[in-house]
Chains A and B, each alone.
Chain A
Amino acid sequence: MEKVYMDNASGTPVHPKVMEAIMPFLKDGFGNPSNLHQFGRISSDAIQAARGQVANLVHAKPNEIIFTSSGTEANNFAIKGILAAHKKKGNHIITSQIEHFSVLNPLKSLEKSGCEVTYLPVDKYGVVNPDDVKKAIKPTTTMVSVMYANGEIGTIEPIKEIGTITGEKGIIFHTDAVAAAGNVPIDVSDVHVDALSMSANQFNGPPGIGALYLREGVRILPFMDGGVQEGGRRAGTENIIGIVGMGKAAELAKLEMPQRLSKVQGLRNQLRDGILKNINHVYVNGHPTNRLPGNLSLCIEYIEGESVLLFLDMQGIAISSGSACTSRSLKASHVIMATGVDAALAQGTVLFSMGINNSDADVEYVLEKLPPIVERLRQMSPLYNQKQMKN
Chain B
Amino acid sequence: MQYSAKVMDHFANPRNVGDFPDADGVGEVGNPACGDIMKMSIKVKNNVIVDVKFKTFGCGAAIATSSISTEMIKGKTIDEALKLTNKAVAEALDGLPPAKMHCSVLAEEAIEAAIDDYLKKTTGKGLEKKKSHAHDEHHGH
Interface residues of A (CB under 8 A from B): 302-304, 306-307, 310-311, 314, 323-326, 328-330, 332, 343-344, 347, 379-383, 385
Shortest beta-carbon distance, B57 to chain A, in Å?
A: 5
Q: Please give, as numbers and ranges, the residues of chain B lying within 8 Å of A330 by CB-CB distance.
A: 33-34, 99, 102, 139, 141
Over the window 15-51 of chain B, the binary record of Cβ atoms lying under 8 Å from chain A Cβ atoms (1 yes, 0 no) is 0010100000000100001111111000000000000
Our pick among A307, A311, A332 for the contact of B58 (Cβ within 8 Å) is A307
Q: For chain B, give the interface size range.
A: 20 to 34
Our pick among A329, A347, A385 for the contact of B35 (Cβ within 8 Å) is A347
B59 & A304 in contact (Cβ 8 Å cutoff) = yes
A380 & B56 in contact (Cβ 8 Å cutoff) = yes
Q: A347-B36, A385-B19 are in contact. List 20 more A-B contacts (CB 8 A).
A: A304-B58, A307-B60, A311-B12, A325-B36, A326-B59, A328-B141, A330-B99, A330-B141, A332-B35, A347-B35, A379-B17, A380-B55, A380-B63, A381-B55, A381-B56, A382-B28, A382-B37, A382-B38, A382-B39, A382-B55
Shortest beta-carbon distance, A378 to chain B, in Å?
A: 9
A324 & B35 in contact (Cβ 8 Å cutoff) = yes
Q: Please give, as numbers and ranges, the residues of chain B lying within 8 Å of A381 by CB-CB distance.
A: 55-57
Sample (18) of A-B pairs whose CB atoms are under 8 Å apart = A304-B57, A304-B62, A306-B59, A307-B58, A310-B11, A311-B12, A323-B59, A324-B34, A325-B58, A325-B62, A326-B59, A328-B99, A330-B102, A347-B34, A347-B57, A381-B56, A383-B37, A385-B55
User: Does B14 reach chain A (CB closer than 8 Å)?
Assistant: yes
Shortest beta-carbon distance, B137 to chain A, in Å?
A: 14
**How far, in angstroms, from A385 to B26 measured CA to CA in the complex?**
14
The binding surface of chain B is classed by DSSP as: mixed
**How far, in angstroms, from A380 to B58 measured CA to CA in the complex?**
10
A380 & B36 in contact (Cβ 8 Å cutoff) = no
Q: Please give, as numbers and ranges, the residues of chain B lying within 8 Å of A307 by CB-CB distance.
A: 11, 58-60, 63
User: Does B1 reach chain A (CB closer than 8 Å)?
Assistant: yes
